[in-house]
Amino acid sequence: MKKLGMGLVGPGFIAAHHLDAVRRLGNVEIVGIAGSSLESAKKRARELNAGRAYASYPELLADPAVQVVHNTTPNHLHREVSLAALRAGKHVISDKPLASNTQEARELYEAAREAHVAHVVTFNYRGYPLVQQARAMIAKGKVGPAVFVHGCYLQDWLTDERAYSWRLDPKLGGASSALGDIGSHWCDLAEHVTGARITAVLADLHTAVPVREVPAASPKAFAGAAKSTPRRKIKITSEDLASVLLRFDNGARGCVTVGQVLPGHKNDLRLEVSGRLASLAWRQEQPNELWIGHHAQANTLLTRDPALLDPAARGYAHLPAGHPEAWADAFRNLMADAYAWIRRGGTPETKPAALPTFADGYRNSLLVDAMLKSHAAGGVWQHVEDPLG
Ligand code: SOE
């Protein structure tokens, strides 16, 4: 089978994981990468063993060897790079959130549809075998009519007021910080697993660390700067904490808490769905377990074992029971689905069911936007538009 050529734009923190994932697929060639300058691209291409370095992303797009573009730039560049890639006829895999705001997300969604290429947004938590198991069980009615969908996505990497990232700057990260960065993942997962849509939200947002001491030189995501680094104080306007009540189109109620200043919580995404027959709970930090709760019989804990999984979930598990699979494996599963779709032509009919597209990215942006509006209006229920039907 001829290898598909991929090029990556934006070689920061997440780029290494895109490259690792496609390397594991075996049928993808890493052609090269583009960054903010030829020098930075050369340096990262060497560090990541990522093929050739391009002086700019238009140069990468002009290379016919590149058929698939991975857009791992900061949020404010997503629109520009993804649009240019779509116009150049490339398949596009964009990091989440799809864009900085809903208008841009809509533009990207429409451009992707018209381009007749595969378009993927990295809601990678869909790629876990037990997430797919929960989705299959709900689709088959094993949980009964949904009553309550709840959970959280908590992190602590912004706890210290000296921690900083471009995600906190609305010009670079968009109007929302914690909600756009990780609340977006939770909402996507809740809708994907339940098969239901969030129709209304009531949000309370907060900035628990309103002033941060930022290194004078711009830091990378997650980069801890030395104590002696010269710093300046800046006011933070976007949320680092959010609590949101939810209503779903199947009548279920829900709530989610999102925060990035919560000591001890590293990447603590939890999702629980309670139906009339049973509850299912999954936790990202213990991803090989699915808790199944019952009312009139003993609760069970399903550990990831390909032999015990629903056929729809089995293909997402690669190791026998007792050999844990985790974040990198789920990320690889997303890339496997993306490249399978590309090989099948990227048509709507050939899309793997678990794969998140630009339509999901647009939908997600509408959700985050509704949360921001609900809070700005003083905490009132905000209807979530659903132009995709
Ligand atoms: C930082 O909060 C981050 O890397 C997110 O940007 C990712 O999407 C999430 O998977 C882990 O945390």
185-213 pLDDT, tens digit per residue, is 999 999 999 999 999 999 999 999 999 99
What is the distance between the alpha carbons of residues 366 and 370, in angstroms, rounded to a whole number? 6
Q: What is the DSSP secondary structure assignment for residue 266, as one 8-state letter? A: S
ipTM for the predicted complex comes to 0.97
With cut-offs at 50, 70 and 90, classify the pLDDT of residue 216: confident
Instruction: Judge whether residue 113 has pLDDT over 70.
Output: yes
CB 66 within 8 A of CB 5: yes
Instruction: Judge whether residue 388 has pLDDT over 90.
Output: no
Is the previous residue joined to 129 through a cis bond, with omega within 30 degrees of 0? no
With cut-offs at 50, 70 and 90, classify the pLDDT of residue 389: low
- What pLDDT shows up at residue 224? 57
Nearest CA to ligand 1 atom 6: 181
User: Above pLDDT 90, what percent of the chain?
Assistant: 93
- What pLDDT shows up at residue 219? 55
Tally DSSP H helices, then E strands, for the chain: 12, 17
For the stretch 311-332, pLDDT in tens is 999 999 999 999 999 999 999 9
Nearest CA to ligand 1 atom 9: 182
For the stretch 236-287, pLDDT in tens is 999 999 999 999 999 999 999 999 999 999 999 999 999 999 999 999 999 9
Q: Region 334-349: what's the mean pLDDT?
A: 97
Instruction: Judge whether residue 3 has pLDDT over 70.
Output: yes
Instruction: Judge whether residue 16 has pLDDT over 90.
Output: yes
Amino acid at 39: E
Instruction: Judge whether residue 385 has pLDDT over 90.
Output: no
What is the distance between the alpha carbons of residues 95 and 182, in angstroms, rounded to a whole number? 12
CA of 23 to the centre of ligand 1 (A): 21
Structural tokens at position 100: 């900085």
Q: Region 45-49: what's the mean pLDDT?
A: 97
Listed residue (308, 300, 272, 253) closest to 131, CA to CA: 272
- What pLDDT shows up at residue 226? 64
- What pLDDT shows up at residue 386? 83
CA of 140 to the centre of ligand 1 (A): 31
- What pLDDT shows up at residue 227? 66
The pTM is what?
A: 0.95
Poorest-pLDDT segment among 133-137, 145-149, 307-311, 384-388: 384-388
CA-angle at 163, arms to 19 and 104, nearest 5°: 55
Q: Which residues contact 43 (CB under 8 A, 6 or more apart)?
A: none
Q: Which of 124, 166, 182 to mutate to test the pocket of ligand 1 (most atoms within 8 A of CB)?
A: 182
- What pLDDT shows up at residue 387? 77
Long-range CB pairs of 32-41, under 8 A, 24+ apart, other chains included: 32/7, 32/8, 32/60, 32/63, 32/66, 33/7, 33/8, 33/9, 33/60, 34/7, 34/8, 34/9, 34/10, 34/59, 34/60, 35/9, 35/10, 35/11, 40/11, 41/11
* CATH of range 136-320+364-375; options 3.30.70.1290, 3.40.50.720, 3.30.360.10, 3.40.50.300: 3.30.360.10
CA of 181 to the centre of ligand 1 (A): 6
CA of 182 to the centre of ligand 1 (A): 6
* Residue 98 backbone class (left: φ over 0; alpha: ψ -120 to 50; beta: rest): alpha
Structural tokens at position 298: 């003993």
- Start-to-end CA distance of the chain, whole Å, equals 38
CA of 14 to the centre of ligand 1 (A): 9
Listed residue (149, 206, 197, 225) closest to 387, CA to CA: 197
Q: What rounded mean pLDDT belongs to the chain?
A: 95
> Would you tell me how many other CB atoms lie within 10 Å of the CB of residue 143?
22
Q: Which of 185, 220, 267 to mutate to test the pocket of ligand 1 (most atoms within 8 A of CB)?
A: 267
In this structure, the residues whose C-beta lies within 6 A of any atom of ligand 1 are: 155, 181-182, 185, 267
Instruction: Judge whether residue 101 has pLDDT over 80.
Output: yes
